[in-house]
A and B are shown apart, each in its own frame.
Chain A
Amino acid sequence: MLQRRTFLLTTAAGLAAPAVLRAQGSPYVVGTLFPMSGPNAEYGMLFTNAVQLAFEHIKADGMLKRPIDLRAQDSLATPQGGAVGMQKLASVDGASYVMLGFTGVSKAAAPIGTRSKVMMVNGGGVGPDLAGLSPYFWNVIPLVNQEVKALLPWLRQKSLKRIALIYVDDPLGNSVLEQLRKGLPEAGGELADTYSVPPTAQQFAAVAAKVRSVNADAVYFASYGAQQSQIIKQLRDNGIKQQLLTYSAGSIPSVLSLPESEGLVYTSQAADWSSAQDPVTQRFVKDWRAKHNSDPSIYHQNYYNAMRLFALLAQELEKAGTPVNGENLLATLLKVRHFTFVGGEGTFQDNGTLELPMQINQIHDGRAQKIA
């Protein structure tokens, strides 16, 4: 066994050595720390595809003098997986910039990234606990509170007053709960009832029965992963005919393609694929459609932006002639703040989130349409 162990370690060292050399030599090492297996792996897929497209665009445009070396780590969507993966990206692969997602992973990776001075960028959902996690931790997406706030006027306009809320009992879900509890009365509505569910729950027929019994005007759900589709399907199957509402997590393909999602309304940052005027967005949408034969989702946009952010920052550093490392990337971000992204101009806030224009979308025939 001892032999095997030594073997593993030497193999590890042998494979890693050129990587370290290369990091000092030509390419910039950029890491991804997504769940690539397990129940949340769909997201890892989504995120990676988006990063890939941005990567191709950066290469095609010759935005950077040196090539980018993308390194993937499976975070397993657990804190431990996040810590191990982050440590490997930071100290073995020598990444200066890491894109990640998921609350547990982010929180476990943040101290390690901060210690190694690696820029970390999240494009998944943002609860208040991920805003301001570390100076090196940034979100290319607004705080979820912003999303709820953007929805309130629309609810009033449609006179949807009594809202039932199904939420995962985590910081993000609780933040939605708090925002609705506070915001609904101001918008002339009320919370009819709330149901917290564990992230692993798969059966929602009973929740549906309870929702039906409170007779709400609309049902808001704040969940993620496969659970979202299960909630939608089972609510509809069990006779919930009311308007369904959610935040930007509703934009993943498995939700879009679900027949029961017809009419679902979700908020997101501005992402009007059909009428976008700016070249960055137009090109993103055109190439995405050509490559994947479908419309991009919010997550595609976010992680495309995350990858693009690296190129923009590194470009600045190359111009100034300073080395591209986490420290300098961060300094540049704090200096510039304002960037051109897919979806429009975005400004980074002091709390580590991105201020972007918001919009309201509705799913129709398997596609998202901007309705407000």
Chain B
Amino acid sequence: MIAYLTNLATLATIFGILAASLNLLIGYAGIFSIAHAVFFGLGAYAGAQLAMLLVPDLLLACLAGGLVAGALSLCLALPALRVRGEYFVAASLGLQMMAVTVFSEAHAFTGGHGGLVGIPLASLLGFDISAPPTFLVVCLVVLALVLVVIRVLMRGSFGRSLMAIRDSESAAEAFGKNVARLKTLAVVLGCAMAGVAGVLFAFYMAFVNVESFTLEQSILVMAMVIIGGTATLIGPLVGVLLLLLLPAGLSFLPFIPPTEIGSVQQLIYGLAMALLMIFRPAGLAGRSAGQR
């Protein structure tokens, strides 16, 4: 039981980092990306490759994963500068679909559908950190760091500028904000953090393949952010706990026949998403309109 809870907690922490980084885009910068799993994947692949080819050091891997994801996030920044709203959603969708094909085709980097197997155990500055409880602690530390960075930045002028752009791009520009640069910074920062989450994921799973970086994953993370509450620090975490623990919790229900377990779980899961959006449209941790 402890091992199971540790496992869930570690996954929840990794997804917490992922959701928090997407919240930077969706919640603060108003960039509605449904391609976040792409950058999660880029980080995971980069981290795994580094660990397999050079050294399984988590710090270096995080650096590499963050760099690769951050650099390639310019593919997302480009449409983000040109279009907004539904158009951007569609652009990120296109990017996501293309990336999945590239991930499955670029065998040298990703191992194709077979994925990368045998990712070595993680170490940090020479210490073995692969034991599940230790790794959980490391993940929690990374999550804490990410949250601190987001909080500090979002409380500062950068955060205010992003939110100003989100609420009215033209007005922000009229007050001297370099919208292109700020948006690009936000995208790079958010995607680099997603890359770091990907590195942790790769080390934790010891195996990665394209099935973890699909559109479904992107939508799951997006749902976590929206259901939890955008532009709040704890909202994405609340969303992660709910959406990760809901299926896990449902699997404990004794009365579902084993042959129908998947469908019934999905049914409840989908219904929960719809109902939450009807009754808590600003998310569980968000404040609704009219509330002062």
Residues of A within 8 A of B (CB): 1, 4-5, 8-9, 11-13, 15-16, 20, 32, 35-38, 41, 44-45, 48-49, 70, 72-74, 76-80, 83-85, 87-88, 90-92, 103-104, 107-108, 110-112, 116, 127, 129, 133, 168-171, 174, 198-199
Contacts and interface: CB of A to CB of B under 8 A. Distances in A.
Given A92-B4, A111-B206, A103 B113 contact: yes
Given A8-B245, A170-B114, A79 B209 contact: yes
Interface residues of B, number: 44
Nearest to A170: B113
B91 to A, nearest CB: 20
Given A77-B211, A79-B211, A169-B105, A72 B258 contact: yes
Nearest to B267: A37
Contacts of B275: none
A79 to B, nearest CB: 5
A36 B263 contact: yes
A170 B112 contact: yes
A302 B148 CA distance: 52
B258 A32 contact: yes
Given A74-B262, A92-B1, A129 B117 contact: yes
B7 A84 contact: yes
Nearest to A48: B259
B261 interface: yes
Nearest to A37: B262
Contacts of A38: 262, 266
A11 B262 contact: no
A90 B7 CA distance: 11
B250 to A, nearest CB: 9
B205 A41 contact: no
Contacts of B205: 79-80, 83, 108
Given A37-B262, A129-B117, A198-B101, A104 B11 contact: no
Nearest to A5: B241
Contacts of B262: 35-38, 41, 44, 74, 76
B112 A37 contact: no
B254 interface: yes
A79 B208 contact: yes
A154 B146 CA distance: 61
Interface in B239-292: 241-242, 245, 247-249, 251-252, 254, 258-263, 265-266, 284-285
B2 A8 contact: no
A16 B117 CA distance: 32
B251 A73 contact: yes
Contacts of A70: 258
A107 B117 contact: yes
B259 A78 contact: no
A87 B3 contact: yes
Contacts of B184: none
B109 to A, nearest CB: 15
A38 B205 CA distance: 22
A85 B212 CA distance: 15
B7 A87 contact: yes
A113 to B, nearest CB: 12
Contacts of B101: 198
Contacts of A107: 115, 117, 207, 209
B8 interface: yes
12 contacts: A1-B238, A41-B263, A45-B259, A74-B247, A76-B262, A77-B211, A78-B212, A88-B251, A92-B1, A110-B207, A169-B113, A171-B113
